[in-house]
Chain A
Amino acid sequence: MSLLLILPIVIPLTTAAVALLAWRSRAAQRALGVAGAAALLGVGLALLATVWQAGIQTVQAAGWPAPFGITLVADLLSAIMVVLAGLVGLAVAVYSLVDVDPARERFGYYPLLQILLMGVCGAFLTGDLFNLYVWFEVMLIASFVLLTLGGERAQMEGAIKYVTLNLLASALFLAAVGILYGATGTLNLAALSRQLGSVSPPGLVTALAMLFLVAFGIKAAIFPLFFWLPASYHTPPVAVSAIFAGLLTKVGVYALIRVFTLLFIHDVGYTHTLLLIVAGLTMVAGVLGALAQDELRRALSFQIVSHVGYMLMGLGLFTPLGLAGAVFYVVHHIIGKTALFLVSGVVRRRCGTPVLKEQGGLYQDAPALAVLFLLPALSLAGLPPLSGFVAKLVLVQAGLASEQYAIVGVALGVSLLTLLVMMKIWSEAFWKPLPEASRAALQGAGPPRGGAAARRVMMAPIAVLAALTVGIGLAAEPVFVLALRAAEQLLDPALYVQAVLGARP
């Protein structure tokens, strides 16, 4: 079984290495990119099935016993995240076949995508805080190059902010790791979980929790640390921003969930109340930013911030139902958000401009695309029977059960505003007729690259993701049970500690 834990890291690495060997052959790289992502999805599903049946899985690299060696751990949350990484990776790899231009492909787009997936999966599976830092860096350096590949002016300006703030977060993370090692003498997550309760003074643990909150908060784009996200996510090719939007910020959320359920649980009254406040502010700030945007991808980028708030809300409530809501929300958000970003690329190709005011007429010209936009859009706003409704329902129920009425009110209000943002996009890009100036510009530019076959390749991943968001909404029970089991595992750190360190006291 140990192979299953290593494969999500080895498959992207091998794919990237082989793709680099085939540097001169674009066709080989494209095929490898799709095949590697598909294999990752398959392994992720197998891993999820194993963890579901046999409990938390661990691997000690080279047989060094924890806490001395390198530990890989997969609990249900990790396994779910690996599956999602494979799913988004596959969707984006297929979409990239059309969307990414030959120049970018020649400069190693597909190998970079695989390295990014490797970093993400490594971060999900590691059982050691310092290794988490290393995986973050692997993921970051790949994302830096993906963001700047192409070298357009907007990309460069966005990249400066993205690189600076992410490196700042890494430096803070590293400092926190150092202090934590000084306080406990270990960096293995399970060993830390066992020892942090006896650190004196206890205030040091809370201070460290805040340091980790800021470090991961920058990466997860929480209020007030999110400004790099809307400044950079709309600049690269759509395929790149789709995988950033779907996966990268969620790695920060995953890290927050991990440390605030496994390590920093000794002063819940302070830390998790702060998380709730930050969650509320993140939701509001994100959706207000989205309302003010006049470009599809910029509005969607701000909405990511808003949705990260919902995930934090589940974590801040710190009840089984709340965490289940957070996990469910992560699943639903990654699928829905990736689909919407991919749609934004098709919209841009059809209208020839990213600006909402100059778009239009898509409901008439491309009804299928309109439906594929509307499904994930309404799902993110939280309309039944789509997956977002269930996710928000669980969170609201958990909030009411914990008597946190303020955050419930904020969550419901922000849902309404999200719907408003989606309807604004709908009425601008899809409902109103295409402005004459845009029509003239389109006819002057000629037909887009690829034609009908290319369009089908772009629509296929969107259709699959949209179908998933409907499917999860209609058959919510299995996903909810999975999320609830994951939440119960998270709330019982003893299970995790025992799986890694064995049964000794």
Chain B
Amino acid sequence: METALAFVVGGLYAAGLYCLLRRSIIKLVIGLSLLGHAANLLIFTVPGLTAGQPPLVPPRAATPPAPFADPVPQSLILTAIVIGFGVLAFALVLVHRVYQTVGTDDLDDMRSTDT
């Protein structure tokens, strides 16, 4: 399972980077979102997966029976997803405003502040 997910993570990174390198600002946002998903899936996969063993403590016991799925990466991802959602919402509004203000969605036409 980890091997399959590793390929998915790699595919997401490749797709995200490809989108980032395009000139359209919409693809830029899609690329950023894909990179975020890739990172989340990476956090999920790297510590190892344990299927069908939720970390629940049975009655009158102090620890769940080993092996159990590590809950920490999942809580990290939960936080990262929420943050990513907020940032993505901002990025979408930004892209819309940029399109309204500059009148193009082509990054090559946004060089007036470059040096």
Given contacts A153-B112, A157-B102, contact A130 B79 (CB under 8 A): yes
| Neighbouring B residues of A179 by C-beta, 8 Å | 42, 46
- Helix, strand, loop or mixed for chain A's interface? helix
Contact of A174 among B80, B101, B111 (CB under 8 A): B80
B101 contacts A153, CB within 8 Å? Answer: yes
A171 contacts B36, CB within 8 Å? Answer: yes
Cα–Cα, bound, A215→B95 (Å): 24
Contact of B113 among A163, A181, A232 (CB under 8 A): A232
A137 contacts B35, CB within 8 Å? Answer: no
Contact of A168 among B20, B73, B90 (CB under 8 A): B20
A175 contacts B39, CB within 8 Å? Answer: yes
Cα–Cα, bound, A231→B32 (Å): 20
A164 contacts B28, CB within 8 Å? Answer: yes
Cα–Cα, bound, A137→B76 (Å): 14
| Neighbouring B residues of A152 by C-beta, 8 Å | 101
A18 at the interface (CB under 8 A from B): no
| Neighbouring B residues of A154 by C-beta, 8 Å | 112-113
| Neighbouring B residues of A409 by C-beta, 8 Å | none
| Neighbouring B residues of A495 by C-beta, 8 Å | none
The contact size tier of chain B is 35 or more
- Min C-beta distance of A142 to chain B, whole Å: 11
Within B59-115, which residues are at the interface with A (CB < 8 Å)? 72-73, 76, 79-80, 83, 86-87, 90-91, 94-95, 97-98, 101-102, 107, 110-115
A181 contacts B76, CB within 8 Å? Answer: yes
- Min C-beta distance of A505 to chain B, whole Å: 23
| Neighbouring B residues of A160 by C-beta, 8 Å | 25, 28, 94-95, 98, 107, 110
B43 at the interface (CB under 8 A from A): yes
Q: Beyond A154-B112, A156-B102, A175-B43: 15 further Cβ-contacts under 8 Å?
A: A144-B94, A145-B90, A151-B97, A157-B111, A160-B25, A161-B113, A163-B94, A164-B20, A164-B32, A168-B35, A172-B39, A174-B36, A181-B43, A181-B73, A182-B47
6 A–B contacts, CB within 8 A, in A order: A160-B94, A164-B28, A167-B36, A167-B91, A168-B20, A171-B36
B residues with CB within 8 A of A? 16, 20, 25, 28, 32, 35-36, 38-40, 42-44, 46-48, 72-73, 76, 79-80, 83, 86-87, 90-91, 94-95, 97-98, 101-102, 107, 110-115
In the A-B complex, the 4 residue pairs with the closest CB atoms? A182-B46, A178-B43, A174-B39, A171-B35
A residues with CB within 8 A of B? 130, 133-134, 137, 140-141, 144-145, 148, 151-154, 156-161, 163-164, 167-168, 170-172, 174-175, 177-179, 181-183, 185, 187, 230-232, 234-235, 289, 292-293, 298, 302
